[in-house]
Structure 1
């Protein structure tokens, strides 16, 4: 074979080899997504579980705790700096931020409601008018200010949550950030809220509670908290008045003053059809039977 033919053969072999390497590299790129993209499984892990429009959902660890307490929303709120929050059941919550109450929880529930159809970490958009209307608030400027205050309060939070299910500690804020006005200070037509992607871990697949929103809107703060606590158990077990007193974050210092309010709240839940029956036994424990849907 002449040297020219030999060189051509060698060149063809090298070219074939280069093409094969390029083809394999192309296949690897298709198989592994870029850093800026997510696989279907990863994307699914960033989307909250689905629930009906007429319900709201909240992680069990939070709804069984005193994080959102039953204090009067108009009264002064304490600032907590890495304070343990009472949790009824397994888990630990360490909280930093201004005291949160049931009106904050209503706002947070609706933020999660809007966020549930898209991956967490993307902006959730809404009009302040529709948001306030959905909460049963007036659609006045005062309500918009109240909404902004609730969002600001939850943005400035830090929760450290640890339990057996998670098998680790998670630190996050209830709301990472939100936009409500432009650079000139004009209120935006569409507000935007950004929810932590880590929130998905708290929900898990079944570790969250679904609340009937129409019922919740009819309840006072203590009854709202009780609705969440009892709804978080498939078959609620007897629970002491003292535990409920701590779990709801009541400001009442003595049980003898808390007990009548508790009974009134349980009657509220029975009147709206959440409870079928309730009773207080001689060991100062509350027994409830939820109404069938």
Structure 2
């Protein structure tokens, strides 16, 4: 039986449509793998000295992917919705896997539940070491993308209920720092990891077309590093040009420009033609 303190810390997931939110710091740095066959280690150093080191436990086979991260997006959105309703949700969410999977656009059959279990295991086994929220001082923080999780199943292995706990690093950003940004529900329809990465980066930096009227520009080389892509730069550049041509991002358009230090990508809020 849980203690009164533990009961207060539990947040029961809200059923139905919840506005989607993302962690703004996690939108512009590699925290997961873009490839479904993920490596066991990724490392990045940002232009202002920020650093991220991602490693995976031996049991998971690789670090969590950007598709696995859908679960974290759902959890962030749930906690944020609780805050906006005047609650003070703790980092532990009680939920039904069926509701979560449906909310992020996944099918809910037995095979899909097995994929969900593998994803949540990778998230818990992915360790992040970062200085992203250092606030102008040396501050190295270490956490797993999920602190822990519990899955309850019947005798046939079918899901009954679940709990998962977000790391304090993410929970504080949502509840205390309010460091979240709204994202389009069409994000879940993006099937390519690179498109998902580009959308999150554009949402973080290009904004809503008001603050940054000309959008935001990144070099191809910077995007290669930020993405954490294991592909050689030449292959990544070809994939990036394909993404620009594909023009699949909700809300944002991409265009290539010539830069002094190599090709650039401009990310702009889509302007409606009236």
Quickly name the TM-score band, shorter chain normalised: 0.7 to 0.9
Report deviation, 1:149.
0.8
The equivalent of 1:176 in structure 2 is 147
- 1:224 corresponds to 2:196: yes
- 1:287 corresponds to 2:257: no
**What is the Cα-based RMSD across aligned positions, in Å?**
3.1
**CA–CA separation in structure 2 for the residues paired with 1:254 and 1:288:** 20
Structure-to-structure mapping, 1:242-257, within 5 angstroms: 242-255=221-234, 257=235
The 1:87–1:99 alpha-carbon spacing in structure 2 relative to 1, beyond 3 Å, is farther
Report deviation, 1:131.
1.7
TM-score by length of 2: 0.73
- 1:53 corresponds to 2:18: yes
| Gap regions ≥5 residues in structure 2 | 12-16, 57-61
Q: Is contact 1:132–1:138 with CA below 8 Å preserved after alignment? A: yes
Report deviation, 1:196.
2.4
- Report which of the two has the higher share of helix: 1
Report deviation, 1:173.
1.6
Report deviation, 1:171.
2.0
TM-score by length of 1: 0.69
The size of the alignment, in residue pairs, is: 238
SS in structure 1 at match of 2:68? helix
Q: Is contact 1:66–1:87 with CA below 8 Å preserved after alignment? A: no
Structure-to-structure mapping, 1:1-293, within 5 angstroms: 53-60=18-25, 62-71=26-35, 73=36, 75=37, 77-80=38-41, 84-87=43-46, 91-97=50-56, 98-116=62-80, 117=82, 119=88, 121-163=90-132, 164-165=134-135, 167=137, 168-181=139-152, 186-203=157-174, 205=177, 207-233=179-205, 234=207, 235=212, 236-255=215-234, 257-268=235-246, 270-271=247-248, 273-276=250-253, 278-282=255-259, 283-291=262-270
SS in structure 2 at match of 1:284? strand
